[in-house]
Amino acid sequence: MEKKDNLRKRFVTYFNPVNWQKKTKIITTITIAILIAAFILSFFVPTYDDFVTQTSPTMQEEIQKDKDRKNKQVLQSYNNLFIISYASFSTEGYYAEKDEYIGFAGQIYDASEGFTGFVGEMVNYTYRLLGCGENILHGAKLTIFLTITSVFFGFILSIFLALGKMSKIKLISKPCSAYVFFFRGTPLMIQLFAIYFMVPGIFKFSWTALTGDVYWGAFLAALIAFTLNSAAYCAEIVRAAIQSIDKGQTEAAKVLGLNYRLTMSKIIIPQSIKRMIPPICNEFVMVLKDASLVFAISLMDITTISKTIVSDGSYLVFIPALIIYLIITAFFTYIFNKVEKKFSVYE
Amino acid sequence: MSMIKTENLCKSFGSLEVLKNCSLSIEKGEVVCLIGPSGAGKSTYLRSLNHLETINSGKLWIMDQLVDDRHNGHNKAILSPKQRNELMLDMGMVFQRFNLFPHLTVLDNLTLAPINVKNMKKEDAVNLALELLQKVGLSDKADAYPSKLSGGQQQRVAIARALAMQPKMMLFDEPTSALDPELVGEVLQVMKNLADDGMTMIVVTHEMGFAKEVADRVVFMYQGEILEVDSPDVLFNNPKHEKTKNFLNSVLNI
């Protein structure tokens, strides 16, 4: 325990700017300044016409012709990254041309190869990952929302499961154990399929009719599957935390005349919550990543969107996808650490 | 009226017999000290009085009411769980390892049970708690967390917590064994004051000085049996049993 605390102390000292060397401070300040400057400059996007003047003469010609054509042959996208491609089929064969430019701070750079090419692709994928669908940050929003709700409800359910599992009455403890055994012993993917496809089939209803919307129907099914699954994992965490509380606490409560409900709610659970936080954080991060499984029922989360983009042949899309996951994980780990500190006032 | 009366109390953990036919009766206002070598069953006897351990056979009366009448674990006593719990509330208990609730302040430790179990009003409970804290000399620690207190202070808070339920008798399970030697005195002083106030007390202890000075009767236990019950003068100066002599020699002549 002490060793762990020392490690954390060193970690905290290391990341506290007050203790940094002058050199580190300067480098960090400059990096942050550059990032802020880049962010501001990225708003100065060259106009569409500026991009067009940069393209090759044949492409310009095709763009001109395309205005009058019924069947458009020029494909284009326009944001910070300007991608324009032309494809035509004729008796002479297949002809294709693709031009890519990146506009930054009012300047236009060739993005077909080299470093600017790589940067351009990253910008494009990130934009498409986060801005896909009718919402901005659509995928990330879905993932975060699904994770928070399912772990929250799963945790509440798990307290009852854990207490049930520890019950001396076999009629209560056996079903609770069976529940935990079942949901920990089968793949989450199949549980998701079972709830999305099988349950409506057996009970003759449909998720879409229930919520009035295809998307929310799938979301509700996913939410239920994830809640039930994480409840099983959290139940073990809660049980371990409750059993780690000194037996003397229960005895003291009993001697004071507190009944089971009061002992649990006033004495044991408040004390065990602090011990639950690190493993619950772990479980949270697991669910966050497992949430990518919803692509199996066509919910548009980060994974599903990157999967659709990769089908264009843009395999580098997984780099921004991974980075978005990392950022979300880092953010929630930070929050959980704060919460843990808050709960340790009395120690 | 006897506060506690036991008749042929027996308790075993598996094949190990911890209590063998323990019979004892404790009157109102009496201070009884249980002494004996470790493993003699002193703590188990005390814990079986307030049902922290369930006895296998024997009879137990609390305030002249038959609570336990067991044969091979089966209870014949006719007493509703509610009545039984009410009787149990008349017994306060202090543990060797304090067992304060670490997530609550000292004041909350004292008021939790009166408010939730006795349905006392919050102001009344707080007033009572502050009064008791003054009695144990810790009025300035009301808002501290137990972890910020010394062992002796924690044990005094534990005594106050037990008293907050206004019990008719107090059970002490080796209250000074987990303390540093210099902190033992303050806890014993609180217990002495309590005895002077006329509280019925049963104390499992290794503090022979305390037993000599405060106890009305001293009980010597050896291997699960009550060997000798006598006033401290007689038991410490003229013990009848060889075992008692050996024990007192080993404890007193270090």
Could you report the per-residue pLDDT of A16-64, keeping only the tens digit for each? 666 667 887 888 888 888 878 877 776 677 777 777 777 777 777 777 7
Confidence check: pLDDT of B2 > 60: yes
Provide residues of B within 8 Å CB-CB of chain A: 50-52, 85, 88-89, 91-93, 95, 97, 99-103, 112-113, 116-118, 145-147, 161-162, 165
Q: Residue A241 has what pLDDT?
A: 94
User: Could you read off the pLDDT of A282-291 as tens digits, one per residue?
Assistant: 999 999 989 9
C-alpha A317 chain-centroid distance = 15
Q: Which residues contact A44 (CB under 8 A, 6 or more apart)?
A: A104, A105, A106
Candidate from A100-104, B54-58, B143-147 with smallest mean pLDDT: A100-104
- CB atoms B116 and A262 under 8 Å: yes
Q: Residue A15 has what pLDDT?
A: 66
User: Could you read off the pLDDT of A60-83 as tens digits, one per residue?
Assistant: 777 777 777 776 666 666 655 566
Element housing A77 (H / E): strand A74-78
How many other β-carbons are positioned within 10 Å of the β-carbon of residue A186? Answer: 13
| A200 bridge partner residues | none
Predicted confidence band of residue A128 (pLDDT cuts 50, 70, 90): low
Helices A138-165 and A318-343 meet at what angle, rounded to 10? 40
Check if the interface score ipTM surpasses 0.85. Answer: yes
Q: Residue A166 has what pLDDT?
A: 92
Higher pLDDT, A207 or A316: A207
Q: Span A157-172, mean pLDDT?
A: 94
Candidate from A11-15, A278-282, A332-336 with smallest mean pLDDT: A11-15
Q: Residue A133 has what pLDDT?
A: 46
Whole-angstrom distance, CA of residue B27 vs CA of residue A245: 37
- What are A123's two structure tokens? 């910008």
Whole-angstrom distance, CA of residue A121 vs CA of residue A83: 10
Q: Span B210-226, mean pLDDT?
A: 92
Chain A partners of B100 at a C-beta cutoff of 8 Å? Answer: 252
Distance in Å, alpha carbon of A241 to nearest chain B alpha carbon: 15
Residue A319, helix vs strand vs coil: helix
Model-level pTM greater than 0.80?
A: no
| B92 bridge partner residues | B170
- CB atoms B52 and A266 under 8 Å: no
Which of A257, A262, A271 minimises the CB distance to B102?
A271
Higher pLDDT, A44 or B132: B132
Mean pLDDT (chain B) is 91
Whole-angstrom distance, CA of residue B167 vs CA of residue B199: 9
In eight-state DSSP terms, residue A100 is: E
Candidate from A98-107, B90-99, B235-244 with smallest mean pLDDT: A98-107
Measure the N-to-C terminal CA separation of chain B; round to a whole number of Å: 40
Chain A partners of B88 at a C-beta cutoff of 8 Å? Answer: 255, 257
A246 interfaces chain B, CB cutoff of 8 Å: yes
Predicted confidence band of residue A121 (pLDDT cuts 50, 70, 90): confident
Confidence check: pLDDT of A346 > 70: no
- What are A121's two structure tokens? 């692709």
Q: Span A250-264, mean pLDDT?
A: 93
Q: Span A281-300, mean pLDDT?
A: 88
Residue B8, helix vs strand vs coil: strand
Q: Residue B71 has what pLDDT?
A: 86
- Cβ burial, residue A14 (10 Å; 0-12/13-18/19+): exposed
Chain B partners of A267 at a C-beta cutoff of 8 Å? Answer: 101
Helices A138-165 and A269-290 meet at what angle, rounded to 10? 140
Distance in Å, alpha carbon of A273 to nearest chain B alpha carbon: 11
Q: Residue A76 has what pLDDT?
A: 65
| B62 bridge partner residues | B4, B65
Question: What is the rounded radius of gyration, in angstroms, for the C-alpha atoms of chain B?
Answer: 18
- What are A37's two structure tokens? 């400057």
Confidence check: pLDDT of A136 > 60: no
For residue A81, give the nearest of A135, A36, A126, A40 by alpha carbon.
A126
- Cβ burial, residue A45 (10 Å; 0-12/13-18/19+): buried
Whole-angstrom distance, CA of residue B153 vs CA of residue B171: 18
Q: Residue B135 has what pLDDT?
A: 92
Q: Span A119-144, mean pLDDT?
A: 65
- Counting one residue from chain A and one from chain B, the pairs whose CB atoms sit within 8 A come to 57
